Amino acid sequence: MRIAATADLHYSPQSYDHIREPLAHVRDEADVLVIAGDLTNYGKPEEMHSLLNALVRLRLPIIAVLGNHDYESSCEEELMKMMTDEGIKVLNVTTRILPDMSTAEARTNSMKMATADRQAVFKNADCVQCHVETAKDSSGHDKMGEELYTAVCGVCHESSHRATFVPDLHHLKDPTSAAFWRTWITSGKPGTLMPAFAKIEGGPLSNEQIDSLVNYLSASIPPEPVKLSPPSGLKVVPQ
């Protein structure tokens, strides 16, 4: 496959003569065209409309991504629709910066918020990013089992910065069971910072998701606390 790549066209209706000859070569010598940003000069729909008139004549598969110039007029959604309507594959990358909860101040603020309302973790914008949105995959489907645990539960219980009030689920002092896990996940624990995760309690998880967590935790964590025996032959030497 022959791939032609370009970027920074900064196209305006007045610049067609400057790209006409290069486009003619692309049509004859490439199988696909990649445009890596800044298709337009000021991100105006009229600029994109004129550029598309030239691109569709190539009769080639085209893959494109917007650049900063294409956002200047705040018409990026319209520009992307114009391209996709003409059969151009538009790549759009979405990034999410999670709040830094590793500092003592951030943890203290989080504790104050949860003390006042333990369900606040599902309402606060920063917390929602970690505990609500992550319960679904990129396609909007519910995560299940281990994947769901890692995304929603592990962010607290498996964190290297796990707060002292957050229990280590792998070393609990009390026996566990399916009923144990279901109660804690569904209803949380009133009077503590543990929220209720069931939708009927104001949480983000469906009954099916809770079932999947119960099954995962029951299978991966021993129901009885693990008691560590001292190594055999261990001798204590007085100092």
For the chain, the 3-state helix, strand and coil shares in percent, each to the nearest 5, are 50, 10, 40
Domain 3-91, CATH homologous superfamily name and number: GpdQ, catalytic alpha/beta sandwich domain (3.60.21.40)
CATH 3.60.21.40 positions along the chain are 3-91
Q: Determine if the pTM surpasses 0.85.
A: no
| 193 vs 195 pLDDT, higher one | 195
Q: pLDDT digits over 151-167, tens only?
A: 888 888 888 777 777 88
Q: Which residues pair with residue 205 across a beta bridge? A: 198
pLDDT-based confidence at residue 61 (cuts at 50, 70, 90): very high
Edge-first strand order for the sheet with 3-6 is 3-6, 32-36, 62-65, 89-91
Decide: 3 and 26 in contact? Cβ < 8 Å. Answer: no
What's residue 170's pLDDT?
87
Average pLDDT rounded to a whole number, residues 57-75: 90
Average pLDDT of the chain?
Answer: 82
Q: Rounded to an integer, what distance in angstroms lies between the CA atom of residue 205 and that of residue 214?
A: 12
CA angle 31, 32, 35 (to 5 degrees): 150
Mean pLDDT along residues 71-87: 92
Residue 228 has pLDDT above 60, yes or no: no
**Sign of the C-alpha dihedral computed for residues 189, 190, 195 and 200 taken in this order:** positive
* Fold for the domain defined by 104-220: Cytochrome Bc1 Complex; Chain D, domain 2 (1.10.760)
139 to 24, 65, 142, 143: CA distances (angstroms): 38, 20, 9, 10
The first and second tokens of residue 46, run together, are 């009229």
Q: How confident is the model at residue 146 (pLDDT cuts 50, 70, 90)?
A: very high
C-alpha 158/C-alpha 171 separation (Å) is 12
The predicted-structure confidence for 162-188, as pLDDT tens digits, reads as follows 777 788 888 888 899 999 999 999 998
Instruction: Report the C-alpha gap between 193 and 110 in whole angstroms.
Output: 10
Q: In degrees, to the nearest 5, what angle opens at C-alpha 117 toward C-alphas 111 and 121?
A: 65
Which string of b and e fits 70-84 if b means at least 16 CB within 10 Å? Answer: beebebeeebbebbe
Predicted confidence at residue 124, as pLDDT, reads 66
pLDDT of 231: 60
Q: How confident is the model at residue 12 (pLDDT cuts 50, 70, 90)?
A: confident
Tell me the CA distances in angstroms from 115 to 111, 127, 188, 192, one per residue in order.
6, 14, 13, 7
- How far, in Å, CA of 74 to CA of 60, rounded? 28
